[in-house]
């Protein structure tokens, strides 16, 4: 097998979904709203709850074990030279059935110093669907002093925190990068493909009303005095917001049917492309995760037979699949590690 269709992989969370993932995938609903994420091709465990979150391949092997057994086949020589047997990304479907709490992820420097990890958690969002008036909160609109932020968090002054953020309306097709350190919250009514560094590190700035004990579990075991040191509390100007948010991707110069989604500064973390066959989308050899967001089509690899795909499918493509093509009346999002 050179292209792996993956079933849903839904670790339990502390916020609610609205059944969008099961409807998108065309599978029965779990009936429990606290499964709002689908971790696709994951070699990352839920923080403090391993092995929850890890992907099992259709043949019964864990993806982590499969890659460790043949990293060059899965990842390619260039990637292995840079990252070893680590895919270096995590891709998710995320269904915001309610507004997520305001939170922040540490960057690589903070994670290396305090969490024994080479990765922080820069992430990016590709909006699949959004209800009218849906929005995300992205960074503070003004400089916030550390003491002011600490008081807001300790006293759970949620309205003051949210009022200080940039509220960014979103619609289907938008692509937004959220750098590590930036306070953010995903608003209700959104289904997205999320690509990120391969960690589950979050510092909660807000927890009231959610099924989690923030004072005990919201600070990565560091205590809030230290954990809040990962927050970028500087004001985010209009020019920077424009750079983080792209409504439509730019076309590839050398591969038809492929549109780049993020600005160049995201390249050191990951990449994502929107695939719209015209009449074909051409995929170069790379470890990648493909989520079909609309329509149906046919995907073909150099090393395997054609396979039908439809909206809601999630596919894992190893480097060894070689050049691939996507054809049909379909749209997909392809996520790749840095320098893939």
For residue 221, count other CB atoms closer than 10 A to its CB. Answer: 12
Assigned token pair, 116: 């024994």
In the prediction, which pLDDT does 254 show?
Answer: 72
- As a whole number of Å, the CA-based R_g of the chain is 19
**Beta partners for 106?**
none
The answer to which of 27-31, 225-229, 278-282 has the lowest mean pLDDT is 27-31
Cα→Cα distances 31→38, 300, 315, Å = 15, 35, 25
* Displacement of CA 296 from its chain's centroid (Å): 23
**Is pLDDT of 115 > 90?**
yes
- Supply 20's token pair: 């969008």
- Measured CA to CA, the distance from residue 17 to residue 33 in angstroms comes to 5
DSSP letter string, 223-282:
-HHHHGGG---SB--HHHHHHHEESSPEEPSSSTTEEE-S-GGGGGTEEEEEE--SSEEE
**Whether the Cβ atoms of residue 130 and residue 170 lie closer than 8 Å to each other:** yes
Q: What is the predicted pLDDT for the residue at 303? A: 86
* pTM of the shown model: 0.96
How much is the pLDDT for 340? Answer: 52
Q: What is the pLDDT of residue 251?
A: 64
Distant-in-sequence contacts of 13-16, Cβ < 8 A, 24+ apart: 13/37, 14/210, 14/211, 14/212, 15/96, 15/97, 15/98, 15/100, 15/101, 15/210, 15/211, 16/97, 16/98
Q: What is the pLDDT confidence band of residue 339, given thresholds at 50, 70 and 90?
A: confident
Long-range contacts of residues 227-231, Cβ cutoff 8 Å, at least 24 apart: 227/203, 228/146, 228/149, 228/150, 228/153, 228/203, 229/110, 230/104, 230/105, 230/106, 230/107, 230/110, 230/180, 230/181, 230/203, 231/104, 231/149, 231/181, 231/183, 231/203, 231/205
Question: What are the tokens at 159?
Answer: 């309205």
Bridge partners, 331 (sequence order): 294
93 is written with which tokens? 């479907």
Helices in the chain by DSSP H: which ranges? 20-25, 63-69, 71-75, 77-83, 108-114, 146-155, 158-163, 214-217, 224-227, 238-244
Task: Determine the average pLDDT of the residues in 69-75.
Answer: 98
Alpha-carbon span 44 to 230, nearest angstrom: 21
| Mean pLDDT, all residues of the chain | 96
Residue-wise pLDDT for 5-62, tens only, equals 999 999 999 999 999 999 999 999 888 999 999 999 999 999 999 999 999 999 999 9
């Amino acid at each position: 097998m050179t292209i792996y269709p993956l079933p849903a992989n839904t670790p339990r969370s502390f916020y609610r979904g609205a059944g969008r993932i099961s409807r998108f995938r065309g599978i029965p609903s779990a009936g429990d709203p606290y499964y709002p994420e689908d971790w696709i091709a994951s070699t990352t465990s839920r923080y403090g709850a391993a092995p929850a979150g890890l992907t099992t391949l259709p043949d019964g092997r864990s993806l982590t074990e499969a890659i460790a057994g043949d990293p060059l086949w899965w990842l390619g020589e260039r990637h292995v030279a840079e990252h070893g047997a680590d895919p270096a990304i995590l891709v998710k479907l995320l269904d915001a059935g309610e507004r997520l709490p305001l939170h922040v992820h540490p960057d690589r420097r903070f994670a290396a110093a305090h969490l024994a990890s080479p990765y922080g958690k820069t992430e990016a969002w590709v909006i699949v669907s959004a209800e009218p008036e849906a929005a995300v909160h992205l960074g503070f609109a003004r400089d916030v002093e550390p003491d002011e932020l600490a008081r807001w968090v300790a006293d759970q002054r949620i309205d003051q925190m949210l009022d200080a953020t940039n509220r960014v309306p979103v619609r289907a097709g938008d692509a937004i990068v959220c750098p590590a350190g930036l306070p953010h919250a995903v608003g209700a009514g959104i289904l997205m493909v999320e690509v990120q560094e391969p960690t589950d590190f979050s510092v909660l700035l807000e927890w009231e009303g959610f099924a989690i004990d923030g004072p005990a579990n919201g600070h990565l075991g560091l205590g809030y005095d230290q954990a809040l040191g990962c927050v970028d509390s500087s004001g985010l100007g209009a020019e920077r917001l424009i750079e983080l948010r792209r409504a439509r991707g730019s076309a590839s110069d050398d591969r038809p049917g492929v549109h780049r989604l993020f600005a160049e500064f995201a390249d050191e973390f990951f990449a994502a492309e929107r695939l719209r066959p015209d009449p074909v989308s051409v995929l170069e050899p790379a470890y990648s995760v493909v989520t079909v967001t609309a329509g149906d089509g046919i995907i073909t690899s150099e090393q395997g037979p054609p396979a039908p795909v439809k909206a809601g499918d999630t596919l894992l493509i190893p480097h060894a699949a070689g050049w691939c093509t996507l054809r049909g009346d379909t749209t997909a999002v392809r996520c790749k590690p840095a320098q893939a």
